[in-house]
Every structure is written in structure tokens, then in C-alpha cells.
Amino acid sequence: MTDALKGKVAAVTGAASGIGLASAEAMLAAGARVVLIDRDEAALAKLSDRLGPAALPLVVDLLDAPSCAALMPRILALGGQLDIFHANAGSYVGGDLVDADNAAIDRMLNLNVNVVMKNVHDVLPHMIERRSGDIIVTSSLAAHYPTPWEPVYAASKWAIDCFVQTVRRQVFKHGLRVGAISPGPVVTALLADWPPEKLAQARADGSLLEPREVADVVMFMLTRPRGMTIRDVVMMPTHFDL
């Protein structure tokens, strides 16, 4: 995969850990310069030291409306152009709806749905003008199955899956590709509230994915011939019981 993305500039939200970090690392390994977008300034500083000069840290709180609105100009100030945008940042609310906190619901829907829509809206003019670009959104297996233990989270991913499919149909005429990755359970910060014994058992059972495995799929999508769009990839652990 060396040099497959040479000369490209990518931007990844939620890039300080998990799928976002694995995606950024894979793109860097393929020769791209990558803008790593996250609110965790300390984590980005450590990563930029480790990943080298092609990793361009950008501290942004996407839930702050003015900061979110300024994202695209700041990406261009760092990278000069944008060829790939991976809208990956998200949060999780699970459990019975009756037990959910309304503020947590608002925050999750804002980040998982509103922020993704605004970010994609803001990168489109630049890509349309250049008549080239790839947009990938991190969705979820929950977008394809009415998961009873996470109604709010699943609803956010159903919404964003519809968004991806409809935006793709609007912009393919401009040479843009839009697709989503929909993984099952992945070992990320979203599983931070799992009991350690449950996490260990799930790993032992082969019912969890690793972030690098999702990043491999992202790279597959990005490296197809321009005449091919991978619109939606559903991936899950072989031993995941759904």
C-alpha cells in the first residue's frame, strides 16, 4: 500500500484514538499527509511526535458551533487542499431509553448526526471545485439492524446511513465518492464502560474487531479505481452473534 495515497491530503475527525487513529495511520503509511482532528490536545501532541511531519494535528471541539464552522478553512490552512475526508468522530448512548439522560442524547445526536452533516456540507464546495474527492463516514452495524439495547445510538446511525446514500447520489456527477463503513463491535473508547471481564471474554470469543481491521477497509475503499464507489461496507467479527 506504500505510496497509494502519495500527494493526497486527508482529514480525519476523532483521530486521537480508535478507528480514527488507525485510519490516519493507514493513510500516512500510504503516503498521504493527514490532518488529525480531535479535541484532545495532549493526545494529538504525542501523536504528532510519533507519527512525524506528515501528521498535522488540529485541535477542534466539533460540538462548539463556531469551531465546527471554522474546520474547513483550518484544514486548508494546514494542508493546502483536501482529497479525503473521514467523518469518524462519534459518541455512544446505550441501554434502555427510559434510563437515558436527555443531555447525553442531545450531545450524541449532535455529534453523530448534525456535526457529520455540517462537516460534509463544508468540505463539498472545495471537492466539487476540484472535481475529485473521497468522503467516508464511520457508521455502524447498528445502522442496518434495529438493535434493541441501543435505540438512540442505532437511530443516529440509521440517519447517517441515509445521509451517506442520498448525498452520494447528489455529488457523484462531480467526480466525488461518498461511502460508509459499518463495523460491528470495535475495541475503542466507546466500549470503555464495558466490564473488563466482558471485554476480555468478547476478545477471547472472537466477537470484537480491532481498529486496524476497520482501517484496512477504509484503505480498500480509497484505493479502488475512480470509476468504482464502495458505498457501504458492513463488517463484523466472524463469531459475532446477531
Question: Which DSSP letter does residue 98 get?
Answer: G
Question: Which residues does residue 232 pair with via DSSP β-bridges, in sequence order?
Answer: 180
Q: What is the identity of the amino acid at 1? A: M
The catalytic residues are: 153
- Residue 159: per-residue pLDDT: 97
Q: CB–CB of 36/47 below 8 Å?
A: yes
Closest CA to 115 of 156, 162, 145: 156
Q: CB–CB of 37/89 below 8 Å?
A: yes
Question: Which residues does residue 186 pair with via DSSP β-bridges, in sequence order?
Answer: 209
pLDDT one-digit tens code per residue, 108-138: 999 999 999 999 999 999 999 999 999 999 9
Question: What residue spans define the domains of the chain?
Answer: 9-232
pLDDT one-digit tens code per residue, 148-162: 888 999 999 999 999
- Residue 190: per-residue pLDDT: 61
CA-based angle 215:219:221, to the nearest 5? 115
pLDDT one-digit tens code per residue, 185-201: 887 666 665 657 766 77
Sheet containing strand 84-87, edge to edge, reads 55-59, 33-38, 9-13, 84-87, 133-138, 176-183, 232-235
- Alpha-carbon distance of 119 to 73, in angstroms, equals 11
C-alpha cell at 21: 487513529
C-alpha neighbours within 13 Å on the C-beta side of residue 167? 27
Question: Hey, which bits of 88-132 come out as E strands?
Answer: none
C-alpha cell at 132: 475529485
- Alpha-carbon distance of 42 to 91, in angstroms, equals 20
Q: The domain 9-232: what is its CATH number? A: 3.40.50.720
pLDDT one-digit tens code per residue, 61-85: 999 999 999 999 999 999 999 999 9
**Residue 231: how many other CB atoms lie within 10 Å:** 14
Question: Which residues does residue 34 pair with via DSSP β-bridges, in sequence order?
Answer: 10, 55
Closest CA to 62 of 53, 74, 51: 74
